[in-house]
């Protein structure tokens, strides 16, 4: 398959608009990705053709909605190499991690240890703090090296027979670091710990194989994978999901209910109380089907080229300091301009049609560790092109004239 | 009275009317932002020891501190703001141009929404958009409410 950037961009209608009279350079893909026509069409078609509740109705529309909804689950399962009963719909990565911290975390006891890393998003810190507070377990943090990669020797030193859970991010949202998670999981397994990967920033960049990774849980969001907002996924290894108590109680997650007691539905429904985000799931399924129809190695090569070119521009740009330079990182450029507050830089870029994120990126402990209040983050995706890099750096030249 | 109150040009030599007049002449975003940033540079800095938790204004992506002093004899509130970001400093200066050295009742009666609309800031620099201007104004109004 060949890779045609113009044809790809044409499938994302939002990219062709002007903002504030300027052509848009959307470089905030770490926050959310744009949606291809195929996704919008699938969501629209669901509402137009078969809007109905799933798994319940004794009628045609409900059967059709259920088919599309469960086909989407199968798409997700195929995408990460899991079986469909191991794929649980959630609202997003945050909810997926909270589910694991609450339900798998329910077995934590005083004296147990949970390991996270310095790179974590607040979503993979706070649920574990809460679980530790409930259980009396202790939270341990893997330190980081100056380039934004984790200190693996320190990680191995943290592992011991008290380690119950290792929960780390696959890819850092703030810096783009790709962690060597397969090795980290192997080490965690050696001490009998369960493993969770926060895949929010990984799924749009490369293929995920939960069997090859051998992780117990993998969490990600639809909206960072070209799908709709409000839908996410938790992959859980079947044996662990079976052993976990349910989380939310209500419809769909039960098998039988009496006033004396209820029994739980089979997987994955045991963790899906209430009417799910049907349109969102169908949209995410469409996003995955669309992505699987692309040449992903060509897309990855394109992103690597963008990162290479942007980094070269950054290194030649006077007064720019790159934050996070770990080898093999994804296409994220986190930086500071000498003497400039990231918020000022972001606003002045915005006036020129360049969309970036500024601030702590929901990683306050990481920023504290780096000794900075925040960064400007330009995060690239498959549909960005060399013009976007050109616009970013031209706009940054203008920003400098304000400071 | 500390110099960051007595020497602030906002509410004396730089008033809301003057800000409106000046900005009215500027027709592109660059000129406006340069003007706003320059206004911020006229804001006297707060000494570091006053940048405390209780003076910290939440709701800002940048760090903002606001302090005030009520002069009972004059029936005026003296305001001072500092921030580590240039644009937020400028926005704070624009707020102070309107509210500094006014009586508590005058502050409560002041139509901030109309002021921002006239400045066309609602379109270009939405006060709700993480820059903390709204939180700053609310803080000043709370203080005025306490004093009337």
Which tokens sit at B107? 């502050």
pLDDT digits (tens, 9 = 90+) for A321-332: 999 999 999 999
Mean pLDDT of B13-22: 92
Which tokens sit at A32? 């959310």
Of B33, B61, B62, the CB nearest to A351: B33
CA distance B132 to B65: 11
From B37, which residue of chain A is nearest by alpha-carbon distance?
A402
Q: How far is A298 from chain B (nearest CA, A)?
A: 37
Which of A16-20, A181-185, B23-27 is least confident? Answer: B23-27
Is the Cβ pair A341, B86 closer than 8 Å? yes
* Cβ atoms within 10 Å of A350's Cβ, excluding its own: 19
Burial class (CB within 10 angstroms; exposed 0-12, middle 13-18, buried 19+) of A298:
middle
pLDDT of residue B24: 83
Is the Cβ pair B62, A341 closer than 8 Å? yes
Is the Cβ pair A20, B29 closer than 8 Å? yes
Q: Note if B25 is an active site residue.
A: no
Mean pLDDT of A343-349: 94
Mean pLDDT of all residues in chain B? 89
DSSP 3-state of A19: strand
Domain count, chain B: 1
Q: How far is B91 from chain A (nearest CA, A)?
A: 12
Domain around B13? 3-147
B-chain residues within 8 Å CB-CB of A345?
none
pLDDT of residue A339: 86
pLDDT digits (tens, 9 = 90+) for A27-80: 999 999 999 999 999 999 999 999 999 987 789 999 999 999 999 999 999 999
Element (H, E) at A369: helix A364-370
pLDDT of residue B122: 47
B-chain residues within 8 Å CB-CB of A397?
none
CA distance A315 to A335: 11
Mean pLDDT of all residues in chain A? 96
Query: Domains of chain A, with CATH numbers?
Result: 5-31+295-400 (3.90.1150.10), 41-292 (3.40.640.10)
What CATH number does residue B75 fall under?
3.90.1010.10
Is the Cβ pair A347, B63 closer than 8 Å? no
CA distance A356 to A376: 7
Is the Cβ pair A351, B29 closer than 8 Å? yes
- In contact, B39 and B19? CB cutoff 8 Å: yes
| Total-model pTM | 0.94
Q: How far is B101 from chain A (nearest CA, A)?
A: 28
- Identify the residue with better confidence: B1 or A16: A16
Going by C-alpha positions, the residue among A21, A35, A73 that lies closest to residue A287 is: A35
Strands across the sheet with A217-221, in order? A87-90, A232-236, A217-221, A194-198, A163-169, A113-117, A138-142
Q: How far is A238 from chain B (nearest CA, A)?
A: 42
SS (H, E, C) A78-122: HHHCCCHHHEEEECCHHHHHHHHHHHHHHHCCCCCEEEEECCCCH
Name the β-bridge partners of A144: A150
* Bond before A120 cis per omega within 30 degrees: no
B-chain residues within 8 Å CB-CB of A347?
87, 125, 131
Which tokens sit at B9? 């040009």
Is the Cβ pair B87, A347 closer than 8 Å? yes
Going by C-alpha positions, the residue among A199, A219, A240 that lies closest to residue A89 is: A219
Tokens 């400045």 belong to which residue?
B119
Name the β-bridge partners of A198: A169, A219
Find the catalytic residue in A103, A132, A362, A369. A362
CA distance A158 to B66: 44
CA distance A16 to A35: 13
pLDDT of residue A1: 46
Flag whether the ipTM exceeds 0.95. no
């Amino acid at each position: 398959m060949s890779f045609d950037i113009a044809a790809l961009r044409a499938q994302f209608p939002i990219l062709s608009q002007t903002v504030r009279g300027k052509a848009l350079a959307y470089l905030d893909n770490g926050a959310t990705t744009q949606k291809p026509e195929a996704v919008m069409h699938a969501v629209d078609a669901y509402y137009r053709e078969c809007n109905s509740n799933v798994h319940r109705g004794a009628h045609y529309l409900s059967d059709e909605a259920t088919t599309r909804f469960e086909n989407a689950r199968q798409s997700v399962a195929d995408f990460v190499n899991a079986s469909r009963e191991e794929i649980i719909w959630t609202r997003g990565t945050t909810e997926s991690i909270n589910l694991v911290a609450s339900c798998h975390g329910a077995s934590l006891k005083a004296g147990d240890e949970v390991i996270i890393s310095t790179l974590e998003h607040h979503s993979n810190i706070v649920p574990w703090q809460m679980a530790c507070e409930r259980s009396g377990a202790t939270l341990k943090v893997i330190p980081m090296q100056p380039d934004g990669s984790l200190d693996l020797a320190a990680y191995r030193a943290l592992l011991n027979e008290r380690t119950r859970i290792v929960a780390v991010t696959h890819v850092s949202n703030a810096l783009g670091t790709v962690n060597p998670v397969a090795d980290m999981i192997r080490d965690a397994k050696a001490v009998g710990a369960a493993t969770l990967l926060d895949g929010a920033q990984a799924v749009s960049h490369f293929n995920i194989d939960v069997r090859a990774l051998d992780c117990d849980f993998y969490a990600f969001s639809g909206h960072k994978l070209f799908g709709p907002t409000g839908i996410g996924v938790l992959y859980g290894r079947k044996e662990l999901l079976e052993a976990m108590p349910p989380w939310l109680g209500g419809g769909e997650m039960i098998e039988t209910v009496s006033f004396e007691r209820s029994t739980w539905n089979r997987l994955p429904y045991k963790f899906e109380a209430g009417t799910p985000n049907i349109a969102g799931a169908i949209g995410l399924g469409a996003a995955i089907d669309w992505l699987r129809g692309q040449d992903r190695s060509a897309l990855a090569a394109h992103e690597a080229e963008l990162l290479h070119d942007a980094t070269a521009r950054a290194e030649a740009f006077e007064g720019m300091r790159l934050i996070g330079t770990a080898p093999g990182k994804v296409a994220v450029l986190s930086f500071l301009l000498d003497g400039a507050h990231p918020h000022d830089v972001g606003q002045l870029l915005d006036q020129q049609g360049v969309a970036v994120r500024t601030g702590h990126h929901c990683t306050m402990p990481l920023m504290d560790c780096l000794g900075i209040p925040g960064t400007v983050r330009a995060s690239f995706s498959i549909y960005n092109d060399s013009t976007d890099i050109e616009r970013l750096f031209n706009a940054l030249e203008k920003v400098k004239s304000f400071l | 009275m500390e110099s960051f109150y007595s020497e602030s040009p906002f509410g004396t030599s730089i008033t809301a009317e003057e800000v409106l007049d000046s900005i009215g002449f500027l027709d592109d975003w660059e000129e406006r932002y340069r003007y706003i940033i320059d206004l911020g540079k006229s804001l006297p800095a707060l000494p570091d020891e006053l940048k405390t938790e209780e003076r910290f204004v939440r709701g800002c992506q940048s760090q903002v501190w606001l302090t005030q002093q009520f002069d009972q004899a004059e029936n005026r509130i003296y305001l001072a703001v500092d921030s580590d970001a240039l644009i937020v400093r400028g926005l704070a200066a624009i707020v102070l141009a309107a509210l500094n050295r006014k009586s508590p009742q005058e502050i409560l009666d002041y139509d901030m929404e109309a002021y921002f609309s006239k400045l066309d800031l609602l379109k270009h620099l939405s006060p709700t958009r993480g820059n903390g201007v709204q939180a700053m104004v609310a803080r000043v109004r709370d203080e005025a409410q306490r004093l009337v």
